[in-house]
Structure 1
């Protein structure tokens, strides 16, 4: 018997013994035809799984970055995608897709747990900073608007007395100012401001400041009643080199929301 005929017969027997139809990734047209043939043998639920698995497995080898950079041609990419699904039955393809999903889920969880740790670290650092920031005190605070010569626009002024009770010289201080009236739940203004300290303020040193915020900022627009109280919170201090010594800002609302959702999804697993 001719050797080639023998091989063909053996291959035919093997394929016949496989039972389930297999995908043909020899060309795009062959794949489309074999997809139809494989799908015909599946019920609606299995067909949906198969379709999803086909997309997932084929696209798992897609490297768009390599194509965009010219390291790989689109033709090469197409061949790799066809090769990845070639010869597989529906069950084999679905099993491979499940492995890919599990691997991705594991990587996603690893990244999420890392992000949770980082966000919680920022929260802890902010709480620790609050202890030190409390040592930088504001013993007197006053806000008013004074008249300016040749101008109808008044100039906002913030007067304050500060004391550096930390063990570090401070080059810049950041504050949150709140002006509110007793008995009112909503403040007239809540605004951040900061001050670059000429020559810095040394440990155990006290200073009096009269700061003039931008008259076109919210400080220049607010109309403060006589019964309003002006309070100041220290939120950050910078060291001699401009580095943040202590920062209580912590996480934004979006970050807090993300942390809560990540912990709900991953922490208990």
Structure 2
């Protein structure tokens, strides 16, 4: 679905953000990039999206994959409605107006916001704004979803609820996801596989598979979940110490 081969990213001012990244996303998988702030997680996601180009190496993407990107902030247009915000990718894609309405209604239904189509962003909570952002990403019916710490600014209860909703969407639609976070508990809950990154320059120093077929409230309270979160925490510590 998506692959980085020996990818590096150096910026003009001399900062090396990424070094020798080898990583593959398989179809139907949730792959999480886990690392400390500033380790290059967002830079790698931008390379995957084609918003930036590697200094070395190459990014390969399934040519049939339709890609959407969810940013850290909801980035909604405050002057227009929820429905118009969700419709924006279709407008930019020159989809006829008669075809946009049904797609927008479907995307809003998928995130539980059908009743808020005519609302404005100022009338929404932070969690609802992020749902609108996700609906906007889903409206083009992507097969590949890139998500850059979308729930990082939310409280724990809202974050957990949106994690559950994201899992339901991914499973229902067969999406492939690259998810960025620095939260070990979120990574343990959401992921099929976690790629642990070192501090800058970011490298993949460990890959940990999460074998938990059912993700629910019982899983959050299980010994397995706690052990997985501790394993990820230890991997982050080891990565930091190796580059200290």
Q: TM-score band, normalised by the shorter chain?
A: under 0.3
**TM-score computed with the length of structure 2 as normaliser:** 0.24
**TM-score computed with the length of structure 1 as normaliser:** 0.22
Q: Would you tell me which structure has more helix in proportion to its own residues? A: 1
- Structure with bigger RCO (C-alpha 8 Å, 6+ apart): 2
